[in-house]
Amino acid sequence: MITKPTRQRALRGHKPTRPTSRVANTAEHQAVLAWRLTPRDKWIARMLWEHRVLTAHQITALAFPSFRSGRMRMRELYLWGVVDRFQPFVTVGTAPMHYVLAPAGAAVLAAEDGLDVKELGYRHDRVFGIAHSLRLAHTVGVNEWFTALVDRARHPHSGEQVELAAWWSETRCARHFGDLVKPDGYGRWRSSDQHGDRQVEWFLEYDFGTEPLSKLAGKLSGYAALAQATGITTPLLVWLPTSRREAAARRLLAKAWRELDDRHSVPIATAAAELLNPEAAHPSPADAVWLPLASPAGASRRPLSGLPDAWPHVPPPVTPTEENPTGTDSPPPMSPPPPPMPPTPTSPPASRDATRQARG
């Protein structure tokens, strides 16, 4: 799907599921869930709450060794009321099952955080509203983009260690930076090889080919304002569906970028989905598909881990220390260890949370 995402116009509403006997969300049921739910189950529930909706294939890539094992476990979580599911109509073929957080799962997360469900902000009708949202395809596409990175980290090449260390949803980004910009996501990629360790963080603009490119270029002033307000230079990655649209976007982005007061505060790189090799075992945005905006003519494309070399003025991301711990509003940890070992809830590297919050 990372190379051929489903367009919104191909979705034709919600396909109703056949009635299935499910457990009522009572206090007794919550007590039963205390010994039924594994750390991985709770991790999946938090991912659904963070990112609104994940497909069966995405959940498999995130946390299961095979589609069959993931499907069986997700069915159990559905029968227990931890997750809900729906299947949108598509014009060709059959859409995968889409999962969202259900009331019993929200109750478990709220209890873990010392809150009640109302304080958590969960409402079942709003959560299930994504099934009919006109942004369903875009949300699933963004989640597929990040899921492909997690899948790539779970299947590294020989001699390398890679990890998606942070993944913020559009909602979380809007909560932090919505007065200036509303990126489609924030991420941090960590890689280690014989040349050492390196990290790169970014904001993502995921273009589906449905909005004018002039609107995309107009967002650069907001990213420049954010960099000026925080004093933090964060690269901007723009993902487009085709090379033709990427070429058009680069012309408009370059024009808007040259008009910024401080160009270096907004490093930009672009890539197109059709540049990925669909026959590769695990194609992902980590591949050598990125072209920095200021690259000279004929420059080679770079992998995600090689982008810092194009921006030597950008300092590496801040890592957590005892003096600068991870913020309380950090996203759940990424890349759970591959089964059969359960994912351990370790804290992700600080995504400059403390710095950003200290600066308002």
- Whole-angstrom Cα distance, residue 276 to residue 278? 6
Burial of 207 (0-12, 13-18, 19+ CB in 10 A): buried
What are the extents of the domains in the chain? 11-132, 136-310
CA angle in degrees (0–180, nearest 5) for 318-320-324: 95
d(CA 46, CA 84): 14
The answer to whether 304 and 290 are in contact (CB under 8 A) is yes
Smallest CA-to-CA distance from 204 within 178, 183, 182 is with: 183
Bridge partners, 10 (sequence order):
none
For residue 213, the number of C-alpha atoms closer than 13 Å in the C-beta half-sphere is: 18
DSSP summary character for residue 328:
T
User: What would the two tokens of residue 158 be?
Assistant: 């020989």
**Number of other residues whose CB lies within 10 A of the CB of residue 138:** 20
User: What CA–CA distance (Å, rounded) separates 347 from 165?
Assistant: 9
- CB-count burial class (<10 Å; 0-12, 13-18, 19+) for 118: exposed
Instruction: Please enumerate in sequence order all residues whose Cβ is within 8 A of that of 104, keeping only pairs 6 or more positions apart, or say none.
Output: 23, 25, 29, 30, 33, 80, 81, 82
3-state SS, residue 212: coil
Q: Are 77 and 104 in contact (CB under 8 A)?
A: no
The whole-number pLDDT of residue 155 equals 86
Q: Copy the structure tokens of residue 349.
A: 């590297």
- Tokens representing residue 335 in the block: 């890349």
Residue 60 dihedral angles phi and psi, to the nearest 5°:
-60, -45
Contact 292, 307 (CB under 8 A): yes
83-90/98-101 β-pairing: antiparallel
Instruction: Quote the CA–CA distance of 157 and 134 in Å, as a whole number.
Output: 38
For each of the chain's 360 residues, which pLDDT tens digit applies?
A: 676 777 776 766 656 555 566 666 777 788 889 889 999 999 999 999 999 999 999 999 999 999 999 999 999 999 999 999 999 988 888 899 999 999 999 999 999 999 999 999 999 999 999 999 999 999 999 999 999 999 999 888 777 789 999 999 999 999 999 899 999 999 999 998 766 788 999 999 999 888 899 999 999 999 999 999 999 999 999 999 999 999 999 999 999 999 999 999 999 999 999 999 888 888 999 999 999 999 988 899 999 999 999 999 999 887 544 334 334 344 444 433 333 433 433 333 344 444 444 333
* 8 A C-beta contact, residue 238 and residue 307: no
What lies within 8 Å, CB to CB, of 68 at 6+ separation is: none
Backbone angles phi, psi at 100, to 5 degrees: -135, 170
**How do 196-206 and 236-240 pair as beta strands?**
parallel
Cα dihedral across residues 336, 131, 6, 171: positive or negative: negative
In this structure, the chain runs to a length of 360
Sorted by sequence, the CB contacts under 8 Å of residue 115 that are 6+ apart come out as none
β-bridge mates for residue 239, sequence order: 206, 271
User: Structurally, what CATH architecture does the domain formed by 11-132 represent?
Assistant: Orthogonal Bundle (1.10)
Q: Would you call 319 helix, strand, or coil by DSSP?
A: coil
